[in-house]
Each structure stands twice: as structure tokens, then as C-alpha cells.
Amino acid sequence: MNVYARKEKEQETCYQVNAGRLGSNLKSLAVFGANHHTGGIDRPFGSEADQQAREFLQALWEKEIGVATRIDAIANMWTVLPGSEQIPPIVLGSHHDTVPNGGAYDGALGVLLATEVLQTIKENGIILRHPLTVVSFSGEEPNPYGLSTLGSKTVSGKLGKDILVKVVSKIDQSSLQNAVSKAGGNLENVEEACLQPGEISAFLECHIEQGRRLFDKQLSLGIVTHITGIYREKIVITGEANHAGTTVMKDRKDALLAAAAFSLAFEECIKECNREDVVGTIGSLEVFPNAANIVPGEVELTLEFRCSQTAVGKQIIAALDRIEERIAQERGVTVRREVILDQAAVAMDRQIIAALDKSLNKMEEPFLNLVSMAGHDAAHMVNFAKTGMLFVQSIDGKSHCPEEKTDMKDIVKAGNGLLQAVLILDKELN
């Protein structure tokens, strides 16, 4: 390495995010929707807490950092630090809403880390070629309107006005249109929020892992290679309801026991894959007529599996076909299956992965390459931008609960890693 290259490397690595400021912002955002009885946070899209969080972010961007806020038609929040060239921006971000009784880090950490990177670049007088944009997406989590990843799905063109204007809350029948309007958006112009290929140079989302892999290996950071595919079925198993006392065991067509056998066979199928990136769940189950003295006549259940490889998913579906046939024959029941979600896995962009790899190596920070087993806004950004994700360790693997926690030293490492990746990509991207 020549002397000029060495000086350039030393100069770049000397830039550091402000840990105290970042920690303070995390605490401030966690106030909105805080449930003092449970210790969790309730901040769903469209709530008063959601609006308070939006006002906090706007004040942080405009009053403290001095960059303007733009709210698009689906109420995503954007801010931008101009670059020296008129080229598509590098975008960083995540979401600020939470699940019911959720934690302080899921989504919020990604938005505030992105904000901290932008602020660090601005206050150090670093002039990027690319504009640097921060986004906080609307409604990433499940919400009363039944539309998760609302903001990122809409900008990717997967949700249009024809669908969105019909959506109402499952709680009080209020319209999504009204909620979006209160947040500063306008569904009448929602097509204007859609992004096109080439409008963004790159999108990076920093997020807590929400699992134990980094924690178990005592690593702070991970680079995401894929976001898992998600496959769900609604399954109805129909047997024969009958008197629980007078129907002898050999004459029964017990739908619940058939469902139990199906569930255990599914579990074995998933275990036989012997892969960390393959998981399966029977998440809900309803029994009819659901009485103590009646042999169950029908059971409705939901089945889900997640995996990152299409070929493996096809093998699991083929195994489910065989399980269905066997259970129906052995138990004297009928099995009806309906696919309700078949979301393909998505690969992160190789150039973004390489930039994150280079960034963490420059910091001499060990990391793990892994598959995200949860869905994220980044999964929808791949349609029109080079996309990547950086994971931060979740203590004890806990998330979507009040106990969700990430160590501040790991958060600072993530912020510096994201900062270095932006500096690298600013040079490498056309």
C-alpha cells in the first residue's frame, strides 16, 4: 500500500459515529408507545404513538441535523444529504413502528443508525458523490389494517390505489386512507410513491438479527446473504364428530388426532432437512365443535415453513403431499390444503455484500454470513436497487417482546460498519 492509499484508509477509518448521541436518540424514540405495565412498546402504524415518533424524527432531521423531511404518498418519511453529483442516492433506513408489546430496537435501530451515519458525514464535512438518503418506512409490522411492509410494498409497486383505498381497520373499521392522510400521505396520489429501477443506487438496512446465531457465536455483526422465502397453507382436516363416550376407538375418525399426526410428520420433515435456514411452524389451530364430550369432527390449522433455497422448498411441498395422503388413509379423514402465501426468497446484491465485507474487515471486526429468517423492507427494495442488510446481535436472541435488547457496543460497531460501507459504495457505484 502506498503512502497516499494508507493515509486515505486512516482518514476513512477515523470517522466514528457518536455513541452518546445514538444512545440518547434510541431512548427518546422508545418513549413513544411505551407500556409501563409490561415494559414493552405499542407503536403500530396509524396510532398516536406512531404520529409522535414521526414528529420526533422530523424534528431530529430538521432542527438538529438541518436536513429537510419529505413525506411521500404512503407516508414514508425521507430525508436527504445532497451529494456532489446529480446521480441516484444511496439510501439507508428501516421502520419506526413496532409489534404490540414489542421492543425498542426492531426497526427503530435501523432508522436511527441511518440517521447517525448521515449526521456523522455531514458534521465531518465529508462530501459524497451520491446523495445520502434516510427513509423510515410506514407500517412494516402487522397492524390493524392487515398490511405489513406497507410502505416498502407500495414503493415497489406491489400495492396500488385500487387495493389500498378499500382497506379498513379490523379494530374500528376506520379507513387506511384516513390513517395515511393523518401521517402526511395521500392515497389518491399513491402511484407517485412508486420507485423505478435506476432511481436508487443502493439500499442498505441495518437491523437486529432477532435470533440467536450471532449471540451463540458471540459475534456482534452479520452480513445477510438472503432473506428467507415464506410459504403458508391453510389446512382443513375433516373427520367425523361423534359422542366421546359411546364411540369406541376403532370407529373414530378424530380430526384433531389426525391434525396432531400431520403436525408431527411435518416437524420431522423439517428436521430431516438439517439446515439452519429451514424452519417450520403450525401456528394456529381451531377445533370444531370444540367440546369436551365430542370427538373432534374438523380442525383448521395454518402451516408455515421458511427457507432460502427454492429447491428445498419444493422438496418440502412434495413431502407434504405424501404426508397428506398417508394421514388421510390411516385416519379415515379428508385433508384440504390451500396455499395462502408463497413468497420467494430474495438474494442480497453481491456488490453490497462485498462492500459490507470490506467495511468490517477494515474495522478488523469478525462477522457471520447468514440468511435472514424474518421478512424485512429490504426484501421489497431488491426490485429496483442493489440491496443489502447488516445484522446486529440480539441478546439471547429475543425480539418482538419487552426483553428485546442489543448491546450498545454492538450498535456502535454496526454504525461504524454502515458508515464505512457508505464511503466504500460512494466510490465504487456508478
Q: Which of 324, 343, 362 is the last residue of a domain?
A: 343
The parent domain of residue 237 ranges over 229-343
Mean pLDDT of the chain: 96
Higher per-residue confidence, 271 vs 5: 271
pLDDT in tens, 389-398: 999 999 999 9
Q: What is the mean pLDDT of residues 297-315?
A: 97
**Closest to 126 measured CA to CA, from 333, 424, 407:** 424
Q: Residue 195 is which amino acid?
A: L
Query: Is the model's pLDDT at 139 over the cut of 70?
Result: yes
Query: Is the model's pLDDT at 429 over the cut of 90?
Result: yes
Q: Residue 14: what pLDDT?
A: 79
Q: What single-letter DSSP state applies at residue 84?
A: S
- At residue 430 the predicted structure's pLDDT band, cuts being 50, 70 and 90, is confident
Q: Assess whether 275 and 291 both reside in one domain.
A: yes
Query: Is the model's pLDDT at 427 over the cut of 60?
Result: yes
Q: Residue 2: what pLDDT?
A: 52
Q: Residue 40: what pLDDT?
A: 98
Burial classification of residue 85, based on how many CB atoms lie within 10 Å of its CB (0-12 exposed, 13-18 middle, 19 or more buried): exposed
Q: Which of 308, 343, 378 is the last residue of a domain?
A: 343
Q: Assess whether 175 and 68 both reside in one domain.
A: yes
Q: Assess whether 241 and 350 both reside in one domain.
A: no
Paired residues of 342 in beta bridges: 231
Asked if residue 1 is part of any domain, the answer here is no
- What is the DSSP annotation of 380-417? HHTTTSEEEEEEEPPGGG--SSTT----HHHHHHHHHH
Q: Assess whether 152 and 256 both reside in one domain.
A: no
Query: Tell me, what CATH number does 250's domain have?
Result: 3.30.70.360
- At residue 8 the predicted structure's pLDDT band, cuts being 50, 70 and 90, is low
Asked if residue 424 is part of any domain, the answer here is yes
CB 344 within 8 A of CB 310: yes
